[in-house]
Structure 1
């Protein structure tokens, strides 16, 4: 763990979590489906796959600007395929236990996945369903726009600047920064070391949480 002292020396009103790559690993399933889709539409798989992580399907498809393609229709196809294929989806080490240790009204999930897909993947990985979950349908603009994180903070009744956001992907990190929140980057699924000024974490085993007398969350290093 790259632990930056400021995160352990302050209290947070809430924790906000990205899903894919942050509390569960769905890379194998996602890349199977997106690879087949890319081949079918003449998109170079090797250069395309790194761009899918953390973004809404419709934003990924729209960004390609392929002629004659209905982005909404294709995004719906991708979502259906991903709901049907959860083979190999697992939790990030100790993520379920860490989430289970948090007060239910003090954390939220903010994912670029549609709600049905998010629930399917969390069930497959054994991740508890949050009381507050912001999905692709809840925002007009996906990450790196901060709308999802701002909405989650609002629903939890806390200021974004009082939140700690757990993220893994570039667009999500940009969204967290734009929201003005503190940031912990989960590196479990990263193939290469990440260069960042933010704190990094490879396993939730390395941290725990104490709720102080005022109901605020304080991180502790194990």
Structure 2
């Protein structure tokens, strides 16, 4: 585990994925998606690992949901996720870490729709940022880089000056394609991830030093 992932490097903005990165929603998400997969006649065990970090539209298209019922299927799935939030918790230290950041310097960039994102953040006790890019804001979801590029643009920063916090392979690929630095949060990983990027298991050992110009450096927590 890397405790000091970018020593001496300052960033103009932080972009955070949500599920698996600042909160753990795996149990709830897999309950809902597992029930949906069984109704579709899919092999649940092989299907569930493919849902993380992706929008519902890409996931459903990948398994062949017809276009004429796709919108209704997505709406029903999202409502089920909004209704089922049991077991959703913050990643260790995330709330304190996020609240320590300059509000104009960070954003959440998630594949979830806004209503679901706001519901899960509230349940986990995490702040809703001034800026949040959701799956509804882009034409192409992760692993396309669109969401992170939009997040940096809305922060008014170059993506090359941003640090992207991610956990899922699709999100990591999106971050790489966008051109930002990547910090992998592996708190929810059941197995070691092969990644060239620095990794941390949570935020408890991390703090942020903010310079007068607003740039941020990750440092060790006191």
Return the TM-score normalized by structure 2.
0.96
The CA distance in 1 between the partners of 2:105 and 2:182, in whole Å, is 16
Deviation at 1:71, TM superposition (A): 1.8
Alignment partner of 2:204: what SS?
helix
CA gap of 1:148–1:67, structure 2 versus 1, over 3 A, is closer
Equivalent residues in 2 for 1:151-166, closer than 5 Å: 151-166=150-165
Q: Which residue of 2 aligns with 1:117?
A: 116
Deviation at 1:68, TM superposition (A): 7.6
Q: Which residue of 2 aligns with 1:72?
A: 71
Deviation at 1:42, TM superposition (A): 0.3
RMSD across aligned positions (CA): 1.2
The CA distance in 2 between the partners of 1:33 and 1:190, in whole Å, is 20
Deviation at 1:65, TM superposition (A): 1.2
* C-alpha contact (below 8 Å) 1:13/1:163 kept by paired residues: yes
Return the TM-score normalized by structure 1.
0.96
Q: Which consecutive aligned stretches of 4+ in structure 1 deviate over 6 angstroms post-superposition?
A: none
Q: Which residue of 1 aligns with 2:18?
A: 19
The CA distance in 2 between the partners of 1:18 and 1:123, in whole Å, is 16
Alignment partner of 1:183: what SS?
strand
In the alignment, structure 1 residue 36 sits paired with structure 2 residue 28: no
Q: Which residue of 2 aligns with 1:147?
A: 146
* C-alpha contact (below 8 Å) 1:4/1:198 kept by paired residues: no
Equivalent residues in 2 for 1:57-206, closer than 5 Å: 57-66=56-65, 70-206=69-205
CA gap of 1:198–1:98, structure 2 versus 1, over 3 A, is same
The CA distance in 2 between the partners of 1:24 and 1:195, in whole Å, is 22
The number of equivalent residue pairs is 221
For structure 1, the 5+ residue unaligned runs are none
For structure 2, the 5+ residue unaligned runs are none
